[in-house]
Amino acid sequence: MISAARIDLYQLTSLVPHWDAGRADDRVCMAFFSRRLPKNVHTGERARDHLLWAGLGRCLDHLEHAHFDADRIAALTAHPMLGPALRARPELVERLASWRFSGTVRAPAEGSLLYAGDAHRMDGTRLQVEDVRPAAYCPYLVVETDLLSAKLIETPLLSTINHMTMVATKAARVVRAAHAAGDRAVLEFGSRRTHPEAAVDAALAAYIAGCAATSNVEAYARHGVPVSGTMDHFAVQAWEREGVPRHETETAFFRAFHESFPGADVLLVDTYDTFGAATGIRSAVRATGGVGPAGIRLDSNLSRENVWRARRLLDSLGATHTRIYVSGGMDEHAIAELGDAPVDGYGIGERIVTSPDAPVGVGAVGKISMVGDRPSMKLSRGSAKATLPGRLQVWRTPEGDIVGLQGEDVPGTPLLHPVWDATGRLPLPSLDEARAHAAAELSAHGGEPPRRLRVTDALAALVEACVAAA
């Protein structure tokens, strides 16, 4: 079960007047999108050159399974503000109790690069009508449904879009840096830095973005994301025994781990002293009979000099095949700082799943663009928050994206395709196909600056008409 109560209260309180007016079944079209690319929270400068769309499958999971069970209905009818209104409208309560999503959904393929920013006309001039300055964007989702359903899905879909696209976009930057440093693997290790359920979604998003694996077992069990892990400081410390020197208990645990996982023993060597006379790297090599483990992990005091020091020590001890993995506060900038240090892979956690330079999602919002057959737009006069009216389509061209109206004949590759129709959810590409699509997109466009977004003459004319009619 997925609870449909994962919404903001105002979605239900503002539904009541629409219900009383008989408008709960009005058809609406709403777009979920970002107005602009994320900024760095510390500098205010643009932090991302694109957005890597992740979360489509999880959004459709919600639409497919969300409903109100009896306990949620009871909680709603007992609420001090909402409850009296619902109890006075038993038909609305029944409607909520039986609600399931129906409608249509169009979306770009998961793993697509998306852009957002100022809207320009086809001639390149800024689209501004009076003091209304709309943004241009490729929506993550375009949903057509009844008004009641639209209110029940907005918050959870935005939660998924903002989180998973934030993680995927950051992870792609980290993966690109790792590849630039020598085609090295990135493992996502961020489960401890976010909510348990968010950690599963983060692992999925990071894998789509190019991370080789996750440490999160649930992401493996639920979604098939490859799971990988080494060992922890806890294990080394828990092997301690009264009266036995720590270098001996560390060696003993390393030996037990080596025997349990032959050929896959990556030993964490900084619990006591990475470069000590009898601990750390020396202990790891000693525990494996002098041949060295499959790998070691350095989790503290990371620097180019220390990685090279570890490599030289391993080689001097005869462990020339032992690989070096690093973790601990890493991101794309830390990878670049390590430069040519002989790293074989990176374990990166909090700086992927929390994206600390741009941690507030990707600014995704959901806005109505059609009410029945009437185009609608949020004007937000005097600000940069105006939205686009109508049923949108976006075409990718070598010169940049063109945003227009569904049904227009525009040269380019259309990005929005049906993923849910009158029959329900439509099949999506597999996880590995989404990952391959993201890799192709990043290879083709990932190193480019943001593209200028143009709107078709028909869409610009519709904006002018909506402003004039306001």
Distance from C-alpha of 17 to C-alpha of 251, rounded to nearest angstrom: 70
Whether the Cβ atoms of residue 269 and residue 285 lie closer than 8 Å to each other = no
- CA-wise closest residue to 434 among 141, 57, 21, 97: 57
Q: Is the pLDDT of residue 181 over 80?
A: yes
Quick one: angle between helices 90-97 and 70-77, nearest 10?
150
The answer to whether the Cα torsion of 417, 421, 427, 428 is positive or negative is positive
pLDDT for residue 416: 98
pLDDT for residue 470: 81
Cite the beta strand spans of 8-126 per DSSP E.
27-34, 51-52, 66-67, 104-107, 113-114, 116-120
Q: Is the pLDDT of residue 382 over 90?
A: no
pLDDT for residue 447: 75
- b or e along 274-286 (b: 16 or more beta carbons within 10 Å of the residue's beta carbon)? bebeebbbbbbbb
Instruction: State which of 208-212, 327-331, 440-444 shows the largest mean pLDDT.
Output: 208-212
Q: Is the pLDDT of residue 90 over 80?
A: yes
pLDDT for residue 138: 97
Higher pLDDT: 448 or 130? It is: 130
Please name the helix (run of DSSP H) or strand (run of DSSP E) that holds residue 248, with its range, or none.
helix 246-260
Tell me the pLDDT tens digit for each residue of 284-313. 999 999 999 999 999 999 999 999 999 999
Number of residues in the chain: 470
Tell me the pLDDT tens digit for each residue of 198-215. 999 999 999 999 999 999
pLDDT for residue 285: 98
Please name the helix (run of DSSP H) or strand (run of DSSP E) that holds residue 323, with its range, or none.
strand 323-327
Average the pLDDT over 273-278 and give the result. Answer: 95
pLDDT interval class at 1 (50, 70, 90): confident
Residues with Cβ < 8 Å from 55, sequence gap 6 or more?
110, 140, 160, 161, 163, 164, 165, 201, 205
What are the structural domains of the chain? Answer: 23-63+102-167+365-469 (3.20.140.10), 169-353 (3.20.20.70)
Tell me the pLDDT tens digit for each residue of 76-87. 999 999 999 999
- CA-wise closest residue to 197 among 165, 154, 163: 163
Coil, strand or helix at 51: strand
pLDDT for residue 448: 75
pLDDT for residue 452: 81
Lowest mean pLDDT among 75-79, 183-187, 379-383, 431-435: 379-383
- b or e along 382-418 (b: 16 or more beta carbons within 10 Å of the residue's beta carbon)? eeebbbbbbbbbbbbeeebbbbbbeeeebebeebbee
Residues with Cβ < 8 Å from 322, sequence gap 6 or more?
284, 285, 292, 293, 294, 295, 296, 314
Average the pLDDT over 413-442 and give the result. Answer: 97
Average the pLDDT over 46-74 and give the result. Answer: 97
Higher pLDDT: 318 or 329? It is: 318
Tell me the pLDDT tens digit for each residue of 444-467. 887 777 778 999 999 999 999 999
Across the chain, what does the average pLDDT equal? 96
Whether the Cβ atoms of residue 164 and residue 17 lie closer than 8 Å to each other = no
Please name the helix (run of DSSP H) or strand (run of DSSP E) that holds residue 185, with its range, or none.
strand 185-188
Q: Is the pLDDT of residue 43 over 80?
A: yes
pLDDT interval class at 149 (50, 70, 90): very high
CA-CA distances (angstroms) from residue 220 to 192, 205, 213, 223?
16, 13, 9, 6
